[in-house]
Amino acid sequence: MKATLVLVLALAGTVAAEVFFEEKFDAGWDKRWQKSPWKTKENAAGEWKWTAGKWWGGKEDAAKGIQTSGDSKFHAISAELKKSFTNDKKDLFQVKHEQDLDCGGGYIKLIPGSSKDKIKEFGGETPYSIMFGPDICGFSTRKVHVILPYKGKNFLIKKDITAKTDQLSHVYTLRLSPNNTYQDPKASKPSDWDERPKIADPEDKKPEGYDDIPATLPDPDAKKPEDWDDEDDGEWEAPTIPNPEYKGEWKPKQ
């Protein structure tokens, strides 16, 4: 794993416009965050660096975040929400992630209040409510994970969302709605999308002579009135009836 720079912007309940968590990673950030001892005994725990990374915009101090260091190391860090919140009937959170990974995951996990006593030992097995973020390993794995645990099982998003693999900053947004649906803010209708529910069968051909079929036919049961006088009344023509063979304007099958 190479360096991963994480910038946590804000955790907010957007309906009420109340910010529950905001981190600018300015001086003193390490007093607000709990570094986990996870993997320390195995000598596999990595250190966190306070840096703006290789590239930034504006002032360097304002662009600083925390960055993982050391190849093939595990990194876990957490911060407590000073005020509990619920996402019931509200949207959830946004995280910005700058990465340069050969193989590694840069997830953000939302830990339920019931697991507060486990925060100091935060690690891979700590229960969570939501796991969200990019996972990159070689060319085979380049995806954004969305995992929601429920009754002891982890439910993964079925849609493949590709994670960016360059070394620039990218914003990853997860929006969970009250009706248990999610929104992909980058999703858009493809330019070749066809709204028609059905299309004409290109293999269906108009029968030969179809246009020659009349809509009506003379009534074969009609009789010329006995008092009909062709000289006075003109040539008699039988009244017409609908032609059962007539099907209207031809249209191909759908």
Separation CA 5–CA 67 (nearest Å)? 4
**For residue 9, what pLDDT band results from cuts at 50, 70 and 90?**
very low
Mean pLDDT value across the chain = 75
Give me the percent of the chain exceeding a pLDDT of 90. 1
Q: Which residues pair with 67 in a beta bridge?
A: 5, 49
Residue ranges covered by each domain of the chain: 4-183, 190-254
Q: What is the pLDDT of residue 189?
A: 66
Cα distances from 204 to residues 98, 200, 210, 227, in angstroms, run 55, 8, 13, 52
Of the listed ranges 86-95, 116-125, 163-172, 226-235, the one predicted with least confidence: 86-95
Of the listed ranges 8-22, 194-208, 217-231, the one predicted with least confidence: 8-22
Supply φ then ψ for residue 172, to 5 degrees: -110, 125
Q: Which pTM does this prediction carry?
A: 0.43
Mean pLDDT for 87-96 is 49
Written as one letter, the residue type at 58 is G
Q: Which residues pair with 97 in a beta bridge?
A: 6, 170
Domain 4-183, CATH among 3.40.50.2300, 3.30.420.40, 3.40.50.261, 2.60.120.200 = 2.60.120.200
pLDDT at 95 over 70: no
Cα distances from 190 to residues 25, 96, 115, 183, 195, in angstroms, run 39, 26, 43, 16, 11
Separation CA 36–CA 75 (nearest Å)? 8
Written as one letter, the residue type at 9 is L
Whether 13 contacts 85, CB under 8 Å: yes
Give me the percent of the chain exceeding a pLDDT of 70. 74
> Where do the H-state alpha helices sit in the chain?
29-32, 230-233
Q: What is the pLDDT of residue 119?
A: 67
**For residue 27, what pLDDT band results from cuts at 50, 70 and 90?**
confident
**Fold entry, domain 190-254:** 2.10.250
Rg of the chain in Å (alpha carbons): 35
DSSP tag of 211: G
